């Protein structure tokens, strides 16, 4: 079995080894698609916090079940599946309250333990979601889409609510897609005009704003003098996150989906004057995965243009560098096995 190991920063190695053992309660999956995301880029560049090498990357996965060890009513051999890559303890306070996405000892495939950049992986069978009605491409997109779906679920949007999404990368696009599905009026903000054009053409959002000093004035004009009730920041940029507190309306909400290895600071008088609600959003749950799967099956969201780049597994080590180049205009890159 072949695996691509991130041996150290800026170095991938293709290695040959045994197929993983399929322990009781696990299922062996033949990996077919691996989505690449910012986490993988940071790990490759050596600036992903709490990351150790060597590591097999890959947490946006779809494949075909080859073996199931034990009883599992949800999946069977031959099923196409999406992998829920967050392995929770099941016992800590967060897990007991159903918030497995923020388990205190969470281990994420491809981050804290080896992921799916390989021909086979064995995972707990209850971390597989059957996706027979979807393409393998779409099944691999369930993970990043679920991040957006989870953030939108946390925000409890109302129909017709005014929403601003800052950051039009894959995560922001997912947030916009699910906010539109909830019936919100959605405006996207980014510093990158190409990305704004992309989300206007492909997600049917209501308008776009280039992020600059005038943004708040432009935003008010778009909303008849008012500000959005809910603001999502999906930039991972500390300056954007610090200034995002100015955008929600009185009594509004700010949701940090993007994350940053830094301190966030804000003016307490502004925060209190508005009685803002500040939320973070981390990963997703199985419930979010099912919701995204159903939304894709029913054609409620359109992600047909999200995958802009792809390559074969064998060519991944030589192609990855190209995807780091901002001029490549990658939205989502996919590796095929």
Ligand X SMILES: NC(=O)c1ccc[n+]([C@@H]2O[C@H](COP(=O)([O-])OP(=O)(O)OC[C@H]3O[C@@H](n4cnc5c(N)ncnc54)[C@H](O)[C@@H]3O)[C@@H](O)[C@H]2O)c1
Min dist CB 187 to ligand X, Å, is: 12
The span of 65-73, 79-87, 257-265, 287-295 binding ligand X (CB under 6 A) equals 257-265
Residues 34-53: x where in contact with ligand X by CB under 6 A, - otherwise, as a string: ---xx---------------
Residues 219 and 189: their CA atoms lie apart, in Å, by: 10
First to last CA, the chain: 12
- Give yes or no for residue 92 binding ligand X (CB under 6 A): no
Residue number, 131 or 240, with CB nearest to ligand X:
240
Residues 203-232: x where in contact with ligand X by CB under 6 A, - otherwise, as a string: --------x---------------------
**Inter-CA distances, 109 with 113, 173, 182, 224, Å:** 5, 23, 30, 45
CA 62: distance to chain centroid? 15
Helix (H) or strand (E) holding 279: strand 277-280
- Give yes or no for residue 192 binding ligand X (CB under 6 A): yes
Of 16, 40, 44, 21, the residue nearest 119 (C-alpha): 16
Helices 286-297 and 136-155 pack at an angle, to 10 degrees, of 120
Residues 209 and 191: their CA atoms lie apart, in Å, by: 9
Residue number, 81 or 211, with CB nearest to ligand X:
211
Candidate residues 236, 247, 285, 289; the one interacting with ligand X per rule CB under 6 A: 236
Residue 258 contact among ligand X, Zn ion, none, beta carbon within 5 to 8 Å by kind: ligand X
Please work out the total of residues on this chain that contact Zn ion, with binding judged by CB under 5 A: 6
Candidate residues 155, 166, 203, 208; the one interacting with ligand X per rule CB under 6 A: 166
Output the CA torsion sign for 284, 285, 290, 295.
negative
> Is residue 270 within 8 Å of 246, Cβ to Cβ?
yes
Cβ-based burial of 64 (10 A; exposed 0-12, middle 13-18, buried ≥19): middle
Candidate residues 68, 103, 141, 335; the one interacting with Zn ion per rule CB under 5 A: 103
Residues 105-144: x where in contact with ligand X by CB under 6 A, - otherwise, as a string: ----------------------------------------
Residue 238 contact among ligand X, Zn ion, none, beta carbon within 5 to 8 Å by kind: none
Candidate residues 26, 79, 88, 138; the one interacting with Zn ion per rule CB under 5 A: 88
Please work out the total of residues on this chain that contact ligand X, with binding judged by CB under 6 A: 28
Residues 6+ apart with CB under 8 A from 102: 94, 282, 283
Residue number, 67 or 112, with CB nearest to ligand X:
112
Residue 88 contact among Zn ion, ligand X, none, beta carbon within 5 to 8 Å by kind: Zn ion
3-state secondary structure of 85: coil
- Give yes or no for residue 281 binding ligand X (CB under 6 A): yes
Residues 173 and 331: their CA atoms lie apart, in Å, by: 10
- Give yes or no for residue 196 binding ligand X (CB under 6 A): no
128-130 vs 80-83, strand pairing mode: antiparallel
Binding site for ligand X (CB under 6 A): 37-38, 147, 166-172, 189-192, 195, 211, 234-237, 239-240, 257-259, 281-283
């Amino acid at each position: 079995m072949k695996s691509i190991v991130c041996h150290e920063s800026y170095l991938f190695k293709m290695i040959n080894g045994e197929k993983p053992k399929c322990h009781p309660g696990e299922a062996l999956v033949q990996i077919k698609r691996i989505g690449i995301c910012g986490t993988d880029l940071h790990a490759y560049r050596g600036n992903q916090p709490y990351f150790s090498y060597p590591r097999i990357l890959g947490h946006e996965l779809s494949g075909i079940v080859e073996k199931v060890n034990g009883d599992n009513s949800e999946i069977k051999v031959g099923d196409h599946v999406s992998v829920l890559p967050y392995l929770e303890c099941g016992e800590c306070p967060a897990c007991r309250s159903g918030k497995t996405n923020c388990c205190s000892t969470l281990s994420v495939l491809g981050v804290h333990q080896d992921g799916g950049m390989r021909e086979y992986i064995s995972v707990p069978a209850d971390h597989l979601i059957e996706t027979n009605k979807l393409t393998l491409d779409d099944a691999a997109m369930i993970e990043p889409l679920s991040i957006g779906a989870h953030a939108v679920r946390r925000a409890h949007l109302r129909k017709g609510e005014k929403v601003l999404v800052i950051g039009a990368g894959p995560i922001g696009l997912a947030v916009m897609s699910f906010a539109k599905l909830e019936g919100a009026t959605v405006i996207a903000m980014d510093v990158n005009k190409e990305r704004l054009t992309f989300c206007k053409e492909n997600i049917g959002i209501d308008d776009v704003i280039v992020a600059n000093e005038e943004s708040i004035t432009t935003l008010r004009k778009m909303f008849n003098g008012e500000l959005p009730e809910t603001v999502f920041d999906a930039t991972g940029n500390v300056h954007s996150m610090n200034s995002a507190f100015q955008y929600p309306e009185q009594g509004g909400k700010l949701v940090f989906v993007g994350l940053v290895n830094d301190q966030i600071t804000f003016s307490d008088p502004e925060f209190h004057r508005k009685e803002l609600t500040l939320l973070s959003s981390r990963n997703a749950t199985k419930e979010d995965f099912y919701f995204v799967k159903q939304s894709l099956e029913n054609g409620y969201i359109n992600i047909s243009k999200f995958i802009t780049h792809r390559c074969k597994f064998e060519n991944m080590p030589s192609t990855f560098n190209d995807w780091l180049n901002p001029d490549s205009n990658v939205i989502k890159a996919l590796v095929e096995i």
